Amino acid sequence: MIPLLRRAAVRLLDQDAIERIGLPGLLLMENAGRGAFERICTRFPDALGRVLIVGGPGQNGGDGWVVARLLCAAGHAPRAVLLADPERVRGDAAVNFGALAKLGVQVRAIAGDDLAALEAELAAASLVVDALFGTGLDRPLTGVHAAAVARINACTAPVVALDLPSGVDADSGAVLGAAVDADLTVTFAAHKRGLHQHPGAALAGELSCASIGVPAPSSADAGLLEASDVARWIPARALDGHKGTSGAVLVVAGSPGRTGAALLSGLGALRGGAGLVTLAARGAARAALDAKVIELMTEELPEQAEAALERALALAEGKHAAVIGPGLGLDEQGRTLARQLALALPLPTVLDADALTALGTDLGVLRSASAPRVLTPHPGEAARMLGSSSAVVQADRYTAAQRLAEQSGQVVVLKGARTIIAAPNGELRVSPSGTPAMAVAGTGDVLSGAIASLLCALPPFEAAAAGVYLHGLAGELAARSDRGLLASELAAQLPAALDGCRG
């Protein structure tokens, strides 16, 4: 796991380095700038002829002035634009800014709204370094700063952002008014949360982390999942293992005319490693499923909710995990069944699709569920459960996922690009795996089944995190383009995804 820090944690990291360890801030700035300089030279060796550093008056600008100085020392001819009155440059940043003129670096200061000089410099630049605002930015960019960002984005030269693209919120990844669209972001000391949620993740481009000379935190509340995490959680199966030791999953899903979701969820459970999977569908849906399945077993649930509940609880005997919801139906009987099972089913259970809709905003009832639950909402479902909107959820996905986990007392998987897994105790994990090709009906159903297969042997948080990572990796393996992927094709790649994690 790669720790992901909030803005406040980054400040504390710097403060600890200076006050406790005793390192001068000037050294930390030098280390940051040198790390960026080295990565710029490695990534863009043919674009060093006329590098333009666009900086602000703060520490982020200071990192940029170090880059300019090192480029000069390496025999290049960088140029610099300060988007502020030089009198505002203070402290360590002032030391590095003052050195530029003495080294013969062409420096322009723009303190007003006239950006003609910046436009001219950008037009001639072979590469642009964005050193305007770093992690500390917590307000929207407006006026001259927003205009400068627009001009940087319009230039044809590659753009390298220092720490994170100016205008990207370090905590959420949201755009604060306007944001630089970088080709490479060199972040310092540790990864920030905002670099691993969209739109920040896309605006960062290629991402590299440079040390500032002090150890980065080895843990944090939020972390980026790695293949090694999955390999550690899911050991190789015993040589004498059999279907009875591989886990039995009950999938309560499917209603007349809506059997595809149930089938895909069952397929996800089998491909995820379950030894036995039973699809319990409502009414006539069972017969429709029988015509489609080979490896899956089927059972029929009565249409009447109370009788269906009794039958489902009987089917749960001998099972190790369950899924409730895909294609179950949103009529009164379907909603009642989903709500009753969400509380009463005595198995670790994934609640997905129609089961989430049936719960509505009444998440607190899940605190009294008979066994652990994993909720897997997409942004729209998350918004309904929070009484909010998809736009609000997407603006700060970390907060939305955490609120759902806290209110329900259960593990939550907030689906989407860079899916977030949240635990009630505040732990968060982000999965970097996946592809836009997964934006197709049915992939979420496969995920619910895959997580259920892992719930047979793993605690809920690890099962959800591993399932999400493997699901995204399977999508990458199955995709031939950024579209046209079938959910069943993704499911077929789950075993290969696990094999890839194990190296």
Residue 467 near residue 454 (C-beta atoms within 8 A): yes
Q: How far apart are CA 77 and CA 105, in angstroms?
A: 7
pLDDT score at 217: 86
CB-hemisphere CA count at 13 Å for 402?
13
For the stretch 221-260, what's the b/e string if a residue is b when 16 or more beta carbons lie within 10 angstroms of its beta carbon?
bbbbbbbebbbebbeeeeeeeeeeebbbbbbbbbbbebbb
- Cα distances (angstroms) measured from residue 331 to each of 282, 393, 467: 12, 27, 30
Name residues whose C-beta falls within 8 Å of residue 57's C-beta, 6 or more positions apart in sequence.
82, 84, 85, 88, 89, 90, 93
Q: How far apart are CA 220 and CA 135, in angstroms?
A: 17
> Which residue pairs from 148-155 have beta carbons closer than 8 angstroms and sit at least 24 positions apart in sequence?
148/54, 148/83, 148/115, 148/118, 149/178, 149/179, 149/180, 150/178, 151/115, 151/118, 151/119, 151/122, 152/54, 152/122, 152/128, 152/180, 153/180, 153/181, 154/122, 155/122, 155/123, 155/125, 155/128
Q: How far apart are CA 270 and CA 296, in angstroms?
A: 8
Per-residue DSSP letter, 437: G
Structural domains in the chain plus CATH codes: 2-218 (3.40.50.10260), 227-501 (3.40.1190.20)
Q: How far apart are CA 118 and CA 108, in angstroms?
A: 8
Rounded to two decimals, the pTM is 0.96
- Cα distances (angstroms) measured from residue 53 to each of 7, 65, 201: 24, 7, 22
Angle at which helix 25-43 crosses helix 7-19, to 10 degrees, equals 120
Phi, psi of 258 (to 5 degrees): -135, 60
Tens of pLDDT along the chain (503 residues)? 999 999 999 999 999 999 999 999 999 999 999 999 999 999 999 999 999 999 999 999 999 999 999 999 999 999 999 999 999 999 999 999 999 999 999 999 998 888 999 999 999 999 999 999 999 999 999 999 999 999 999 999 999 999 999 999 999 999 999 999 999 999 999 999 999 999 999 999 999 999 999 988 888 999 999 999 999 999 999 999 999 999 999 999 999 989 999 999 999 999 999 999 999 999 999 888 988 889 999 999 998 999 999 999 999 999 999 999 999 999 999 999 999 999 999 999 999 999 999 999 999 999 999 999 999 999 999 999 999 999 999 999 999 999 999 999 999 999 999 999 999 999 999 999 999 999 999 999 999 999 999 999 999 999 999 999 999 999 999 999 999 999 999 999 999 999 999 98
User: What's the farthest any 2 CA atoms get from each other in the chain?
Assistant: 85
pLDDT score at 290: 86
Residues counted in the chain:
503
Q: How far apart are CA 317 and CA 416, in angstroms?
A: 34
Q: How far apart are CA 246 and CA 72, in angstroms?
A: 62
DSSP string, 78-98: -EEEESS-GGG--HHHHHHHH
Instruction: Quote the distance between the C-alpha of residue 486 and its chain's center.
Output: 23
Residue 450 near residue 467 (C-beta atoms within 8 A): yes
pLDDT score at 287: 87
According to DSSP, the β-strands at 222-224 and 2-5 are antiparallel
Query: 86, 32, 28, 31: which is closest to 56 by C-alpha?
Result: 86
Within a 10 A sphere around the Cβ of 117, how many other Cβ atoms? 12
Residue 393 near residue 386 (C-beta atoms within 8 A): yes
Phi, psi of 176 (to 5 degrees): -90, 80
Name residues whose C-beta falls within 8 Å of residue 314's C-beta, 6 or more positions apart in sequence.
none
